[in-house]
């Protein structure tokens, strides 16, 4: 009887450790310890290079759930970084608060430059939407972008709208009658749809599917809605099967996977909207560590390993180094200001 | 072919080991009075955070199937149902025990549970892909009226009283409105708290409602230590017992599956209906209640028949068939999988793995039930004061580890106090959780339908599937009244 009890207790404890070890930050004190020593020692030895990252243990806080697209990109980055830079990279998912929880948790951790967070369009939209005024490019310094998925207008193969011009014209001629599904109100694809309206003067009836794009695809296939706005990757299986057709993508250049699909810009709609995924770090972390991270990750995103891992995960390779990321995000800001103003006005 | 691949995946030692642990754990949890199968699944859900979807689901299914079976051990040997699902088993089971035939009864119940569970698993594998194809035709109006049907079922059958079921259901609906408005994208009822901005997490709420509130109840009432005096040696059933129980078990397996498919009707109802049908169709109904084999086999096959049946609407439509399936919805979404027809196109491998693990999970409790019964009898005599703190710690860890967010632990504790008082007021808890899942589906699909129809409610009545669900909803609401009338006319209880 005693033995059985002891066994059960031991099993419980092992289980408890499993549950914690997988995700709880309390169990991983390493990140804050190791780096604390590193900057203190290295400057004397190698003042030119400053920081040695090859043994660093770095935490990446992902503000979205495990298994999702953002999480996948973060894990690709972590895996590639371990190979290219060395050291250990742990991804933690701190979800909730529309993506704010993870970013706030990163700010709450020690600003030593070894706790990173996901960089995304959130760093522009969260403050503009009035959700979190302080989560901006002023508080976070960009490190890199690895993945970008552009918005695209996608229709059933037998849709009356076979070109983006047809579709936009229908939205101008009969305002508010063409239905356009998105992945939830206020979601980046919804904002992209408002962007199309602002740039063209068309008006669509937006149908939000708050469970995400996958929930809206059956409705598009069944003809309940006329079109959906999402990234081509999200609808790839239906596009390949010939059930759905991409009219245009909101990227700077045509996508390698869809060479025949025009960009919005080509079609006279001056709009670039992409879901971007990369890394950032609290801006007031030690400048030498930030610089070292930025240099190291420029190498990581260019590496063969990283590209292979990303391709295996079916994500679009769209690399930007720190400078490029800052430029890209800042360049998008004015676009989003107008879009979000229109969105807030429409929602009252 | 694909299915055999899945079978091989599941039989991989790493997954099989997790399933064995889950199955044994499930039997123990089910056998402990005060620990239900839903509670077991909720309690162990956090351990699957770090697993992949297949392993996690395989483990949770093993726990749930094992627990529904395990409840019969205590129902037979002590005369207290280990889970509500085995309350019907107790009627005949304790008669066997009184005659000193506890082992014989356990043998019958183990095999019947397996028969019921396996029929249910096979039905799941046959029905689900077909239903998923049909579900692809479901648009917003169909989902809306399906949820409406599910919600009316909750109110009409999940509790003893319609009013109390409705109270619990509405509380769940109310809680589900906190967070992002599905149509405008703006937060509501968050009261400026950033943690409420995207709503309350369902998993911590489930842990609070199913696990902690029960711990509180146990603390107040005290749980007597199980003392089993009956000596049980071998429980391998004899050939004649098998022959007598098999036809009833097969029929009850189908009944259980069917009840499992109906949204919100769970294993306890499946067991009672199976028992009732067996009695009505029996050549010797007078033997029921005195310890007859059919009366024991029916509810056991029925409640395990529910287990996979409840997965049918859960996997194909995202509408849970019972409270356990509601927790499994939470488990799937944790792994980034959205239950519903697209699961069958996008993640068909996971679906096949779930099918395979359903078959194996049933086999596991059969093996361990037959071989390990003496060990289980020892374990279930564990002292409550050792068990209770373990459960408490697991609940706290489970709520925290979900998002590394301490707010969730607080939310879990607050709802557990509400759950505690509900238990005393005899308000059923399961409707809260089912409404938590169905509420947002109902709301967003209703408002989406109205957007599509430009505000006209006719969209719900002009589409045939949608109209069908509305009719079902009306029938289920009128059922309590209809039942009274029928009972009066026929003079029997339904």
In this structure, what CATH number is given to the domain that contains residue A219?
Answer: 3.40.190.10
- Is residue A124 located within the same domain as residue A181? no
Could you read off the pLDDT of B101-159 as tens digits, one per residue?
A: 888 889 999 999 999 999 999 999 999 999 888 887 888 999 999 999 888 877 666 55
Cβ separation A208–B185 shorter than 8 A: yes
A95, A211, A237: residue with CB nearest B346: A237
How many CB pairs lie under 8 A apart between chains A and B? 153
* Three-state SS at A208: strand
- Span A282-291, mean pLDDT? 95
Residue where one domain finishes, among candidates A246, A272, A298: A272
Q: Is residue A343 in a domain?
A: no
| Nearest C-alpha in A relative to B390 | A12
Supply the mean pLDDT for chain B.
86
* Residue B396 reports pLDDT greater than 70: yes
Give A155's pLDDT tier (boundaries 50, 70, 90): very high
Cβ(A217)–Cβ(A237) under 8 Å? Answer: no
Contacts of B184 in chain A (CB under 8 A): 185-186, 347
- Is residue A207 located within the same domain as residue A68? no
* Residue A123 reports pLDDT greater than 90: yes
B224 secondary structure, DSSP code: P
The distance of B251 to chain A (nearest Cα, Å) reads 36
Q: Is residue A256 in a domain?
A: yes
- Is residue A125 located within the same domain as residue A242? no
Return the CA Rg of chain B: 22
Cβ(B459)–Cβ(B137) under 8 Å? Answer: no
- Is residue A243 located within the same domain as residue A297? no
Q: How far apart are CA B141 and CA B4, in angstroms?
A: 37
- Span B290-309, mean pLDDT? 91
- Is residue A69 located within the same domain as residue A121? yes
Residues whose CB falls within 8 Å of the CB of residue B133, separated by 6 or more in sequence, listed in order: B341, B344
Per mean pLDDT, which range of A36-40, B369-373, B437-441 is the poorest?
Answer: A36-40
* Residue B18 reports pLDDT greater than 90: yes
Give A184's pLDDT tier (boundaries 50, 70, 90): confident
Cβ separation B379–A25 shorter than 8 A: no
Residue where one domain finishes, among candidates A249, A272, A295: A272
Cβ separation B452–A22 shorter than 8 A: no
Strand partners, B227: none
Element housing A60 (H / E): strand A57-62
- Span A130-157, mean pLDDT? 93
Residue where one domain finishes, among candidates A218, A253, A272: A272
* Residue A13 reports pLDDT greater than 60: no
Instruction: Give me the pLDDT at residue A15, please.
Output: 53
Q: Is residue A40 in a domain?
A: no
- Is residue A183 located within the same domain as residue A256? yes
For A133, the domain range is 17-33+50-147+277-338
Instruction: Give me the pLDDT at residue A30, please.
Output: 39
Cβ separation B405–A205 shorter than 8 A: no
- Is residue A54 located within the same domain as residue A166? no
- Is residue A21 located within the same domain as residue A116? yes
- Span A72-100, mean pLDDT? 88
Contacts of B466 in chain A (CB under 8 A): none
Give B414's pLDDT tier (boundaries 50, 70, 90): very high
The distance of B103 to chain A (nearest Cα, Å) reads 21
B139, B186, B397: residue with CB nearest A219: B139
Instruction: Give me the pLDDT at residue B448, please.
Output: 92
- Is residue A189 located within the same domain as residue A266? yes
Per mean pLDDT, which range of A29-33, B283-287, B367-371 is the poorest?
Answer: A29-33
Domain ranges of chain B: 2-490
Whole-prediction pTM value?
A: 0.78
* Residue A287 reports pLDDT greater than 90: yes
Higher pLDDT, B50 or B213: B213
The distance of B162 to chain A (nearest Cα, Å) reads 31
Residue found by looking up tokens 């989003």 in the block: A336
Total number of domains in chain A: 2
Could you read off the pLDDT of B326-362 as tens digits, one per residue?
A: 888 888 877 778 788 878 877 889 999 999 999 999 9
Q: How far apart are CA A331 and CA A159, in angstroms?
A: 34
Instruction: Give me the pLDDT at residue A163, please.
Output: 95
- Is residue A183 located within the same domain as residue A248? yes
The listed range with the strongest mean pLDDT (A5-14, A233-242, B219-228, B248-257) is B248-257
The listed range with the strongest mean pLDDT (A285-289, B422-426, B481-485) is A285-289
Contacts of B401 in chain A (CB under 8 A): 19-20, 22-24
Give A34's pLDDT tier (boundaries 50, 70, 90): very low
Could you read off the pLDDT of A250-282 as tens digits, one per residue?
A: 998 999 889 999 999 999 898 999 999 999 999
Cβ separation B334–A187 shorter than 8 A: no
Cβ separation A22–B405 shorter than 8 A: no
B180, B181, B390: residue with CB nearest A12: B390
Give B401's pLDDT tier (boundaries 50, 70, 90): confident
Instruction: Give me the pLDDT at residue B88, please.
Output: 86
Cβ separation A347–B184 shorter than 8 A: yes
- Is residue A129 located within the same domain as residue A234? no
| Nearest C-alpha neighbor of B41 from the set B403, B414, B394 | B394
Residue found by looking up tokens 């339904």 in the block: B494
Exposed / middle / buried, residue B230 (Cβ in 10 Å: 0-12, 13-18, 19+): middle
Per mean pLDDT, which range of A35-39, A149-153, B149-153, B368-372 is the poorest?
Answer: A35-39
């Amino acid at each position: 009887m005693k033995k059985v009890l002891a066994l059960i207790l031991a099993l419980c404890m092992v289980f408890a450790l499993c549950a914690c070890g997988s995700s709880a930050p309390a169990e991983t004190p390493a990140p804050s310890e190791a780096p604390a020593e590193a900057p203190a020692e290295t400057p004397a030895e190698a003042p030119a290079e400053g920081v040695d990252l090859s043994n660093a243990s770095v935490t990446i806080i992902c503000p979205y759930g495990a298994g999702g697209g953002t999480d996948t990109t973060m894990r690709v980055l972590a895996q590639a970084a371990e190979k290219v830079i060395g050291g250990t990279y742990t991804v933690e998912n701190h979800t909730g608060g529309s993506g704010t929880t993870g970013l706030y948790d990163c700010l709450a951790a020690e600003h030593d430059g070894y706790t990173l967070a996901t960089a995304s369009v959130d760093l522009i939209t969260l403050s503009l939407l009035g959700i979190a005024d302080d989560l901006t490019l002023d508080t976070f310094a960009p490190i890199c972008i690895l993945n970008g998925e552009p918005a695209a207008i996608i229709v059933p193969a037998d849709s009356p709208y076979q070109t983006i011009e047809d579709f936009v014209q229908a939205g101008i001629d009969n305002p508010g009658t063409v239905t356009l599904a998105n992945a939830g109100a206020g979601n980046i694809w919804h904002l992209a749809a408002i962007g199309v309206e602002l740039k063209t003067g068309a008006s669509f009836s937006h149908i939000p599917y708050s469970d995400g794009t996958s929930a809206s695809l059956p409705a598009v296939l069944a003809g309940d809605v006329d079109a959906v706005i999402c990234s081509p990757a999200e609808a790839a299986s239906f596009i390949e099967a010939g059930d759905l057709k991409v009219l245009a993508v909101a990227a700077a250049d045509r996508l390698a996977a869809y060479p025949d699909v025009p960009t919005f810009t080509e079609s006279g709609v001056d709009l670039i909207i992409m879901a971007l995924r990369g890394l950032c770090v609290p801006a007031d972390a030690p400048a030498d560590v930030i610089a070292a991270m930025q240099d190291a990750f420029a190498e990581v995103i260019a590496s063969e390993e990283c590209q292979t891992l990303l391709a295996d995960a079916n994500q679009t390779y769209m690399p930007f180094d720190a400078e490029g990321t800052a430029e890209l995000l800042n360049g998008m800001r004015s676009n989003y200001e107008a879009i979000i103003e229109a969105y807030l006005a429409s929602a009252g | 072919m694909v299915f055999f691949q899945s079978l091989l995946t599941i039989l991989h030692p790493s997954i099989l080991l997790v399933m064995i642990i889950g199955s044994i754990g499930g039997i123990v949890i089910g056998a402990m009075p005060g620990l239900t199968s839903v509670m077991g699944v909720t309690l162990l859900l956090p351990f699957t955070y770090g697993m992949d979807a297949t392993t996690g689901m395989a483990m949770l299914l093993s726990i749930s199937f094992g627990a529904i079976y395990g409840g019969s051990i205590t129902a037979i040997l002590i005369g207290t149902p280990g889970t509500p699902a085995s309350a019907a088993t107790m009627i005949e089971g304790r008669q066997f025990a009184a005659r000193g035939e506890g082992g014989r009864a356990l043998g019958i119940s183990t095999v019947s549970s397996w028969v019921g569970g396996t029929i249910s698993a096979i039905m799941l594998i046959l029905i689900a892909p077909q239903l998923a194809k049909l579900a692809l035709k479901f648009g917003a109006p169909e989902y809306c009226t399906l949820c409406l049907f599910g919600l009316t079922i909750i109110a009409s059958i999940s509790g003893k009283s319609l009013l109390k079921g409705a109270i619990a259901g509405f509380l769940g609906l109310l809680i589900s409105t906190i967070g992002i408005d599905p149509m405008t994208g703006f937060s509501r009822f968050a009261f400026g708290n950033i943690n409420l901005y995207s709503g309350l997490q369902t998993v911590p709420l489930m842990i609070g409602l199913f696990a902690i509130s029960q711990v509180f109840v146990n603390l107040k009432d005290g749980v007597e230590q199980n003392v089993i005096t009956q000596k049980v040696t071998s429980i391998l059933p004899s050939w004649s017992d098998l022959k007598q129980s098999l036809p009833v078990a097969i029929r009850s397996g189908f009944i259980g599956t069917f009840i499992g498919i109906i949204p919100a009707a769970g294993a306890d109802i499946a067991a009672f209906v199976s028992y009732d049908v067996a009695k009505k169709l029996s050549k010797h109904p007078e033997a029921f209640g005195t310890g007859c084999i059919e009366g024991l086999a029916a509810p056991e096959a029925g409640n395990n028949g529910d287990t996979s049946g409840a997965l049918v609407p859960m996997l194909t439509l995202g509408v849970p068939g019972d409270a356990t399936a509601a927790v499994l919805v939470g488990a799937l979404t944790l792994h980034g999988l959205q239950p519903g027809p697209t699961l069958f196109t996008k993640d068909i491998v996971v679906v096949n793995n779930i099918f395979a693990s359903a078959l194996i999970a049933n086999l596991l409790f059969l093996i361990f039930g037959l071989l390990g019964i003496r060990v289980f009898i020892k374990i279930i005599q564990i002292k409550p004061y050792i068990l209770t703190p373990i459960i408490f710690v697991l609940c706290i860890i489970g709520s925290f580890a979900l998002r590394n967010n301490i707010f969730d632990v607080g939310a879990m504790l607050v709802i557990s106090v509400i759950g505690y008082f509900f238990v005393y007021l005899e308000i059923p808890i399961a409707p809260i959780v089912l409404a938590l899942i169905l509420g947002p589906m109902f709301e967003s699909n209703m408002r989406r339908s109205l957007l599509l129809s430009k505000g006209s409610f006719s969209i719900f009545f002009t589409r045939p599937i949608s109209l069908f669900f509305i009719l079902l909803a009306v029938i289920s609401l009128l059922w309590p009244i209809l039942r009274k009338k029928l009972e009066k006319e026929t003079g029997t209880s339904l």
